[in-house]
Chains A and B, each alone.
Chain A
């Protein structure tokens, strides 16, 4: 089955700086890669996703890159703000997202004022 590795487990950055979270996956059939943000006591919420036919996608301060050859994808957050503090999860799916997601272990992002 699919295995998703996520690094780092904790990331502390100064407000206004950029944050990068990296994930690797094992199943070459995976074709859908969402990123979720989870705040304390809440369910995960999708912030951006990318499909295997695209190398990069951007939405305001958030961007995701995908390297299918290396089976590697990354989340980039620019101009970080205090409200970006949360746990971020990467995930992968071989069914375009219609099947279950395999999640990484999560990154606790801390924005220092």
Chain B
């Protein structure tokens, strides 16, 4: 398997623009997580899905952020409108789920977002 795939790897946009980050989890994984990493706040959970259903979105910072998982192999994180303080590295991770004996979360390479 190719692992968790994220696109784009780098995104530079201007304040006020819409940004869409994409993630393809590892095939067969039931859980998908979105994290954000900044120097000030470290790694933070934004939202996670189980079987394509959002379970906990309490980490989503504002209504400007939204996430969807239309099927088991694709998820998006959208920021509209974007602001400079949204600049960060956004990671997607996936895991087999609670019943698995080994519940490692596998992280993608991340998308580095810069909002000017």
Give the B-binding residues of A (Cβ under 8 A).
Answer: 32, 34, 36, 41-46, 49, 89, 95-106
Contact = CB atoms under 8 A, between A and B. Distances in A.
Interface residues of B, number: 26
Contacts of A41: 109
Contact of A97 (B55, B95, B109): B95
Contact of B107 (A45, A98, A99, A102): A45
A97 B50 CA distance: 13
B61 interface: no
Contact of B108 (A43, A46, A98, A103): A43
Given A43-B91, A43-B110, A44-B91, A97 B105 contact: yes
Interface string B1-33: 000100000000000000000000000000101
A90 to B, nearest CB: 11
26 contacts: A34-B104, A34-B105, A41-B109, A44-B43, A44-B107, A45-B107, A46-B105, A49-B104, A95-B98, A96-B103, A97-B98, A98-B97, A98-B98, A98-B103, A99-B48, A100-B35, A100-B45, A100-B48, A100-B56, A100-B59, A101-B33, A101-B43, A101-B45, A103-B43, A104-B42, A105-B42
